[in-house]
Amino acid sequence: MKIRCSTFLNCHLLLFRLYFLSLLVFTFATTPEEDPSVIVSRFQKYLQINTAQPHPNYYEAADFILSQANSLSLHSQTLEFVEGKPTLLLKWPGSNPNLPSILLNSHTDVVPSEPHKWAHPPFDAHLDPNGDIYARGSQDMKCVGMQYLEAIRRLKASGFQPIRTVYLSFVPDEEIGGHDGAEKFADSDIFNKMNVGIVVDEGLASPNENYRVFYAERCPWWLVIKATGAPGHGAKLYDNTAMENLLKSIESVRRFRAAQFDLVKAGLKAEGEVTSVNMVFLKAGTPSPTGFVMNLQPSEAEAGFDIRVPPTADQESLEKRIAEEWAPASRNMTFTFKQKVSVHDKFGKPILTAADSSNPWWTLLEGAVKKANGKLGKPEIFPASTDARYFRKRGLPAIGFSPMANTPILLHDHNEFLNQAEYLKGIDMYESIIKAYASYVEHTRDGASREEL
């Protein structure tokens, strides 16, 4: 019944608006649109708070978010899993608390910047004549955190009542791994009690008109391989030196890397769909006061690799490759992982969210973006890591989506900016998505379509 009432009301609003429009009187609309400059200035205020690692001003950000939550009459809770690192949890209660809830996640920290290399200081949130807002965090991801809030502001003003409960989490430390933020939050009792059904988290800007959307991300494997061998005179040729054995491995890794990269270059696979491997350190040699000893072949040599494995990859075959080709015991080699995130969730399934009609949340998102006149690109695997992995690991669906089309990808770069028109359009997207998600009721009695709900 409630739903029917709101539809009825909307129709009436439309009629009223048409009537007044015909009289060229705009000011009588019952829910007047807010001046865009006011909306943008709230975004700028959040951007002006310096939450750069390694010393983010988390409490100032928390105070700001709390003030926003209060202005929207949202329930709020400040959780500190680790002292000094607040997670803000906001709640918009739904009319049916038994249904799984919706979680809109964003992180409050940003990466450091080199201010002298920027056209405008990274925490001024300068708005240039083109409408571009320059600030660290304008893309990654203060935009999204504020867009969630602005979308809720509009939905509340329109009289919308969620059926499902909507939560917003503002978490710390994503940029340094999220261990004291999203990871602890996702493992908490509080999270369990929230009965989350779908998580929305960050994506990436898109240089073209299609928004990018992510259903999985690659898992980091930080591999260190070590070769040992008999030391010897620098003039002697002999087999099984540590250096020689390590070089054979590096050559093998390099061939694998080239083959994966070729698939991307040929357009056969997207960046997130291949296993990337990059050598990040080489450690060998015998130090001397002037550099390295030149006439001695060392007995140990090490190399480190940052490997990113898509959840669609065959984990076992990569493990085999590492043990048999990259660090074989037969060549006196050993290996360790500084980090190794499994491509499987706690149920043993690949950590990914279905991006097809088998997942109603996916279908709803697609429909909601379309309804708000946005276009989605082909769903992708995020090339690096985000907090979404902590939720997917629990077997929950999580979609990465930062609505920024026609925008160069500048996260972690100098002169990160977002155009105000894109920012405002992103609010439309979230308004539509939150509305669709919060109204979604499975297994309707008479088979009524979701549209009617």
Three-class HEC string of the chain: CHHHHHHHHHHHHHHHHHHHHHCCCCCCCCCCCCCHHHHHHHHHHHHCCCCECCCCCHHHHHHHHHHHHHHCCCEEEEEEEECCEEEEEEEECCCCCCCCEEEEEEECCECCCCHHHCCCCCCCCEECCCCEEECCCCCCCHHHHHHHHHHHHHHHHCCCCCCCCEEEEEECCHHHCCCCCHHHHHCCHHHHHHCEEEEEECCCCCCCCEECCEEEECEEEEEEEEEECCCEECCCCCCCCHHHHHHHHHHHHHHHHHHHHHHHHCCCCCHHHCCEEEEEEEEECCEECCEECCCEECCEEEEEEEEEECCCCCHHHHHHHHHHHHCCHHHCEEEEEEEECCCECCCCCECECCCCCCCHHHHHHHHHHHHCCCEECCCEEECCCCCHHHHHCCCCCEEECCCCCCCCCCCCCCCCEEEHHHHHHHHHHHHHHHHHHHHCCCCCCCCCCCCCC
Q: Is 302 annotated as a binding residue?
A: no
Nearest approach, Cβ of 174 to Zn ion (angstroms)?
5
Q: Does 431 bind Zn ion (CB under 5 A)?
A: no
Stretch that binds Zn ion, among 89-97, 140-148, 159-167, 313-321 (CB under 5 A): 140-148
Nearer to Zn ion, 45 or 412 (CB): 412
Contact flag: residue 146 with Zn ion (CB under 5 A): no
Answer yes or no: is 202 a known binding residue: yes
Counting contacts by CB under 5 A, is residue 140 touching Zn ion?
Answer: yes
Whole-number minimum distance, CB 199 to Zn ion, in Å?
A: 14
Q: Would residue 109 show up in a list of annotated catalytic residues for this protein?
A: yes
Q: Candidates 74-82, 149-157, 195-203, 343-351: pick the segment binding Zn ion (CB under 5 A).
A: 195-203
- Our CB check for Zn ion shows the closer of 89 and 141 to be 141
Q: Which position's Cβ is nearest Zn ion?
A: 140
To the query of whether residue 316 is one of the catalytic residues in this protein, the response is no
Query: Which member of 109, 173, 180, 273 is catalytic?
Result: 109
Residue 412 assigned ligand-binding role: yes
Give whichever of 140 and 302 is closer to Zn ion, judged by the CB atom: 140
CB of 160 to Zn ion, least distance (A): 28
- Is residue 141 a contact point for Zn ion (CB under 5 A)? yes
Catalytic residue among 150, 173, 174, 201: 174
Q: By CB under 5 A, name the binding residues for Zn ion.
A: 140-141, 202
Q: Which residues are annotated as catalytic?
A: 109, 174
Binding site listing for Zn(2+): 107, 140, 175, 202, 412
